[in-house]
Every structure is written in structure tokens, then in C-alpha cells.
Structure 1
């Protein structure tokens, strides 16, 4: 499998552009915007994107069910983790935060958003990836964050070129996607858990209607968060996660 690349100077949203193009492309495609003016995060939040950061979307067409498609957020998170780790090397605390964030020295540097669209007999999956390569969102924009944001440059002093980094992420994604298809989610889950932040520690998971507190035990075969409290396990499909320092 190979990936085509589309590099754009400026666009409102790489996910929207990917889904717009989905009907006309046959191969997996990585769309990168040097500037994104109206990106989206989870729960329809605005994704703040200063110039110099990374805004891209991997577009693939699949015939999987929606539950299996949703597991690609873990595939993508591991792939981006691989690419970042390759750039910054050891000496930094790089970790994954459920469901789809990447932390560097306990600060959020990356978010991932999956969106889908039915195209004939297949589903077009847009995997949106936003990474703070150079800078951090302005303070007045931080109320939406559950974890303090950071940037790769601020935390490591390393400058990363978005176009070259796009190619690196693509290569890692192809490898992890192959693992997922050949070995199933169990392999991806195993890798994700080894890199997860705050396993075995008490965390808070908030949904619009309820707040859960418990020890972060694991994720299950569906990618759900598993919390343990008083010897009882709770499985959570979607929530905002707060750590003790968040």
C-alpha cells in the first residue's frame, strides 16, 4: 500500500477537504495544510492552528464497520508517536492519553479526530492529525483543554519541517495499519498500553451527564476505557479525561 500526498498552502479544514475529495480518489491520501483556518477537534471544538504547526488528514477507504473504523484512532496515535519519537530521541517523556491525544513531558502536543462519509459501497475515513510542532495555542483559547498544552519545539528545542514529517507519519501509519489488519486490535492495544500515561493511577472521566473516578486499568477490545473502583470495573466509551495534575 502506498500513500499519495496533497500539500496545500491554506485551507479551512484538512478533514473537510479529505471527505470532499473522497469520491474521486482511489488510493490512501495524506492532505497537509501549511495553514488551517477552521480546524476541528473532538466535540466540534475549534482546533487552534498557529503557522508552523502540523495540520493533516490521512484519507482511506474501507469496508469495515464503524466500531472497527473507530479503532484507527489508536493506530494513528501509535503512528504519530513513532514519528515524534524518531525525531526527538530519548530524554523526553512521550506518552499516549486516552482516547486520542499525545503528551510530551505531560503536555498535550497532538490531538486526533476521526470523521467518516459513506461513498458508494465503502466508508471514507478521515483521520485528522493536529500537532503543535512549533508553538502553543494562545492563553485565551485554553479553556477547552483538559491537559496543559505544549509544543515539540518548546519541550525539546527541535524544529520539525511539516512536509517531511508528513512523510514520516505516513510511513509509520502504513506499518501500523498493516499490523492492525494482520494481527487485529489486540496487537495495537498491547503497544498502546505500553505507552499510555497514568496506567494504575487514579483519574477522572467526565461525560456530559456523569463523572467517574477510578484507577486507570486498561482499554478493552473495543477501545473503551476501563476504570477500577472498589474492585468494580467500569467501561467508558467516550469521556474527557483529567489526571491529578490536569
Structure 2
């Protein structure tokens, strides 16, 4: 089965470059931007050999998993562009819910699979990581910003030995192809991207994201470089920073870091 855009994505003018195998969809998308491609354009494969996640961690997608990147060239500041990651999380959660329900109907199983969004860029099934999102941005001629949003999803296999235990759709009993998931993702992205509206609609994106947030109101520990901050996950603010509420009520905004919930947070297992 070949990768295709969903009908909503097609009508919105998105284009697609699909690969049987590639080193990194993010790297390909940014290279095209440097060569003058302005998008919006998807780059997608079911086998990625040299991908990367946050903090330059490797992200390899064995055949059957989904590695996808969307290139958007937009007239916003880097700080505003960073909030696009929350729209990406919403889009992926929407797509995962849809394919999970459809897979359940085909197998006459339960359709109560739930996913949550872990700040800043993961999608979880239970406490296990199912997908990750990586944003990269570079200035291009004309004063605009080339933003690449990479979305990697464990469809058939999950890596072992990761900081957060990982799972796959197959392990969860959701039997779906990467191509079917991508079609739904491309449509869900078109919707979320429209709501985000170059940052003007981040308030609505934020509201929806918080409805799906993992660990909201629970103990959290955030590793920020060599320091750690512990408290209660209170909310995310209008810039997308995670707000940790300390025991004395003081609220600390955090713009980047690795998040640990529950017993791991309480024990300071960072």
C-alpha cells in the first residue's frame, strides 16, 4: 500500500514526498527548504535509518513504523513557531484515536484505547511512549521561518532501553498500517494547523492539549540540564511553558526539560 494524503489535506493544498527508505525525513525536509521549497509539504517513510529525537537522541524507525515530517514556511517568530508542536500532538492523538477505533471495529474488540500528551512532545499509551515530535526551524530568504515538524510513531515495533518505556500500536493490539495512520494524520494536521493559525489560535490549541495532558495535577519532576525542579504539574502557559507549582505555592515556568511523573518524580529518579 502506498502513502497518500487524506482528502482534507489534499484539498488544503498539501503535497507529499514518500520514500521507501530514508535517513531522516526531518533532514530531507529542511534540505528542501534550503533549496527553496516553501511547502506545505509532507515527507514520509516507513523505514528511517538515521532519524533523531530531542537532545540528539537517535530515532530509528524499522520498516513498518511511521516517520513523517511536515514542512511549513511561515512568517512568525521562533517562540511562536515552537507552539506548533502542541498542534502536532493534538493532530497525532486525533489520528491515533481514529485508527484505533477503526481497527477495533474490524476485530470486534474494545474501542476504549486512550492516548495522552506528555509535555513537551510525546504521545503516551498509558505510561509508555508511543510517539515523539521534534521541531526544527531555520530562517529563509524573505524574513520567514522554515519550520519542520517531525512525527515518529511506533506502529509495529518499539525501541528498548529508552528513558521512558516505549510501546507500539501492534503491541497494544491496534493492527494498522503506517500508510493508514499517515492519511489520518495528514487530515488531522490540516485541522490543527488551521486552528493554530500562525499562533493566533494557540489559546484553543492549549485548551484542547490540556484536556489530553498526561500527569496534569500530579507530582512531576523536570530535569533541566544539570538541575531538577519538583512539584505539581499545574498547567502550560500562553507560551507553552510547563508550570510547576511548588509546595509553597510558587509557580515556576519551564521552557525545556525531561519530565517524570508519579513515583519516578516522588523518588527524584532523574
Query: Which TM bucket (shorter chain)?
Result: over 0.9
CA–CA separation in structure 1 for the residues paired with 2:43 and 2:245: 40
Unaligned runs of 5+ in 1: none
1:48 to partner: Cα distance: 2.8
Hey, what's the Cα distance between the residues in 1 that align with 2:263 and 2:154?
21
Please state how far the C-alpha of 1:84 moved relative to its aligned partner.
Answer: 0.2
User: Residue 108 of structure 1: which of 102, 106, 129 is its match?
Assistant: 129
Within the alignment, does 1:130 sit opposite 2:164 as a pair? no
**Aligned ranges 1:39-188 → 2 under 5 Å:** 39-89=51-101, 90-121=111-142, 122-137=144-159, 139=160, 142=161, 144-145=162-163, 147-155=164-172, 157-181=173-197, 184-188=201-205
Q: Normalising by structure 1, what TM-score?
A: 0.93
After superposition, the CA RMSD in angstroms is 1.4
Runs of 4+ residues over 6 Å off in structure 1: none
| Alignment correspondent of 2:24 | 13
Residue 38 (str. 1) matches residue 60 (str. 2)? no
The equivalent residue for 1:199 is: 216
Deviations 1:65-113 (A, max 9, x none): 0011000100000000000011113412310000010001221000000
Alpha-carbon shift at residue 245 of structure 1 (Å): 4.7
Q: Is the 8 A contact 1:75 1:177 kept in 2?
A: yes
- 1:211 aligned residue: 228
- Residues 32, 163 of structure 1: 8 Å contact kept: no
The number of aligned residues is 240
Within the candidate set 30, 37, 51, 1:25 is matched to 37
TM-score, L = length of structure 2: 0.85
Conserved in 1, the CA contact under 8 Å of 2:38 and 2:71? no
1:2, CA displacement in angstroms? 1.9
